[in-house]
Structure 1
Amino acid sequence: MSDTQIPTCRWGIVTTGLISSWFVADLMMPRTDAKASHIIQAIGSSTLQKSQDFAAKFLKDHPDQKPALYSSYQDVYNDPNVDCVYIGSPHGFHKQHCLEAISAGKNVLCEKAFTINAAEARELVAAARAKGTYLAEAMWLRHRPMVTDLRKLLYEENVIGNVFRTTSDFQMYVDVANLPPTSRYKNPSLGAGSMLDIGVYSLTWAILTLEPEAPGPREKPKIMAAQSFVDGIEVTTSLLLHYPDTGRQGVVTSTTERRRDESQIIATIDGTDGFIEVEGRVPSHPTSFTVYPKWGSDDKKPQGKKYDYSRPQQGFIYEADNTALDLAAGRKESTIMPLSETVRVMEIMDEVRRQGGTVYPVDQA
């Protein structure tokens, strides 16, 4: 890390798929509010050609970026100039790739879902702490400024009174029945199913809006869940979270059986004095939210106040900035998504799968 006014993080990118392309593209966009400076130091893929193609496509307008291009992930882990490894592989590979990076002494920011189950997550936490490396889950939704502002409105300004319910639904169409068994969307060994892939975002909206900041361990809500399957692969999950101390409820759903319009309400937070609608393309890509007063006696929707957070970047830049700040401060985990919270969310999803009937090979190991 540099000693300039804002920290610099030199990234090693592991895998060259869609999510890695989004991450790199976000980091390369010009900003006036940067909290950190980012360098793409290394790119690793299964072949050198893939790394070269990735760099040519996503760094072509950035001649100052001259990453080392590798034909393996291990070369990225071994690169002494890499400050932090970004792991963008499917979640079925996260445990392996994280352990390899940690073993090489590298700091790691790993995509969601962090692992297949909570046991794997706890194994990674233990490995990172034993090695003394930074480890964090890249749940980029939690790092967005709009989430910070929304939680302040909910629990400091109490703009809708006492929050009592949140609903969130993530829809994405995947033709599971006609996919080859090697597809990550159909391979149980790779964590196939809507819950780990997209349902974690709906779940995160519920957690973020139903749980105020509090000292000590977070309360684990009671869970009631059901899942549906196509060819043995979970395609629809519905779960109800219930917080006994407050009576709050979260209605969380995900499906790969249909797709909504591009613009939609992705979450609704209900309070005793009003409600908030979060807008965006899907729950992972919020762009705004609108605060409404309580419904009147007629059927007309009340006038609301909209808070717009649209900007060119998709939102990965916030987690990248915060990771750089964590590393510069010498922290070993995220202040936004601490490892205890990552494990707790994995435990919740384990229970959802237990009730719903989804079993992965690693669960029986």
Structure 2
Amino acid sequence: MAGYFPTLRWGILGCGLISSWFVSDIVLARPSKPTHHLVQAIGSSSLAKAEKFKAAHSVWTRFFPITSALQKLLHQDKVIGAVSRVFVDFGLNMPIASLPPTARTADPALGAGALLDIGIYSLTWAALILDHHPDNAYQTPKIVSSMSTVGGADEMTSMILNYEALHAQAICTASMCFKTREEFCRVEGTGGSTGEEERRVDFETVGWGFWYEQDAVAEALAAGRKECGVMPVEETVRMMRVMDGVREANGLRYKQDEKVGLK
């Protein structure tokens, strides 16, 4: 039936901060809500934490309408000409030495480090701007990188991505030592750069914005699809391989790598 969206029953894995934001958007009252979202189950390694928790995760910013609007401005309208460089930085003021050794952001056994925690966001914006460029055809760029580690986890990571087909580069950085300012990304082109001229574009901004992703899941299921075109499994795996490549180039290993036979 055209326009039909099913009731979605969500199972939440983990009870962290981002999960709480995600759930708050599930139960958010929205006039434009196209479907019913229900929290069916919550999973946690701690029963007590799951019981206290009140409030298909991917990088949810991919689903924001501002993302597709930016891609249109850059690639179709070419407001700054041909894109040549992208600078993206994500940082938190959480030096590893200041954290308990068992903290999620300090313990390598829990996947600690700047790359996996926040570097993914830097890489995501580079991917949205350059990997998804119409002339790139999703070709994975050549990458050189460097890491500064503390206790087996990367505290700072810098990556240069070279897109030969576009004659363009992305400089992506992540740090646990300094909180990024509000303007975290700059895009340069042959006709200027972002930030030189203000252009206001308004979107619906209730909640945290996770509901864009939630509604996209509902739309995909209603159409008989098992994944969203915005973030298919293939793209998820590709981004994971990019990060694994950065880790490998810098000799960063986790215990889990040994369990699955990675050298």
TM-score by length of 2: 0.89
Superposition pairs of residues 140-219 of structure 1, within 5 angstroms:
140-212=60-132, 214=134, 218-219=138-139
Superposition pairs of residues 1-365 of structure 1, within 5 angstroms:
5-55=4-54, 58=55, 109=56, 111=57, 138-212=58-132, 214=134, 218-261=138-181, 264-277=182-195, 292=196, 303-309=197-203, 311-364=205-258, 365=261
- Tell which has more relative contact order, 1 or 2 (C-alpha 8 A, sep 6+): 2
For residues 212 and 50 of structure 1, the distance between their equivalents in structure 2, rounded to whole angstroms, comes to: 39
Identity %: 41
- The superposition leaves residues 158-215 of structure 1 with CA deviations (integer Å, 9 ceiling, x where unpaired) of 1211111111100102231143332221222221110011010011111111134559
* Total equivalences in the alignment: 259
* 8 A contact 1:164–1:210 mirrored in 2: no
Per-residue deviation, 1:242? 0.4
TM-score by length of 1: 0.66
SS across alignment from 1:204: helix
Mind listing any 5+ residue stretches in structure 2 that lack a counterpart? none
RMSD: 2.3
Deviates most, 141-150 or 204-213: 204-213
SS across alignment from 1:21: helix
* 8 A contact 1:7–1:36 mirrored in 2: yes
CA spacing shift, 1:46–1:191, aligned 2, 3 Å:
closer
For residues 226 and 179 of structure 2, the distance between their equivalents in structure 1, rounded to whole angstroms, comes to: 39
SS across alignment from 1:268: strand
Q: If each structure's strand is expressed as a fraction of its own residues, which one has the higher value? A: 1
For residues 159 and 10 of structure 2, the distance between their equivalents in structure 1, rounded to whole angstroms, comes to: 37
Amino acid at match of 1:141: T
For residues 267 and 48 of structure 1, the distance between their equivalents in structure 2, rounded to whole angstroms, comes to: 40
Per-residue deviation, 1:11? 1.0
- The superposition leaves residues 7-60 of structure 1 with CA deviations (integer Å, 9 ceiling, x where unpaired) of 3211122222212111011122222332332111222334544333223xx3xx
* 8 A contact 2:95–2:155 mirrored in 1: no
Mind listing any 5+ residue stretches in structure 1 that lack a counterpart? 59-108, 112-137, 278-291, 293-302
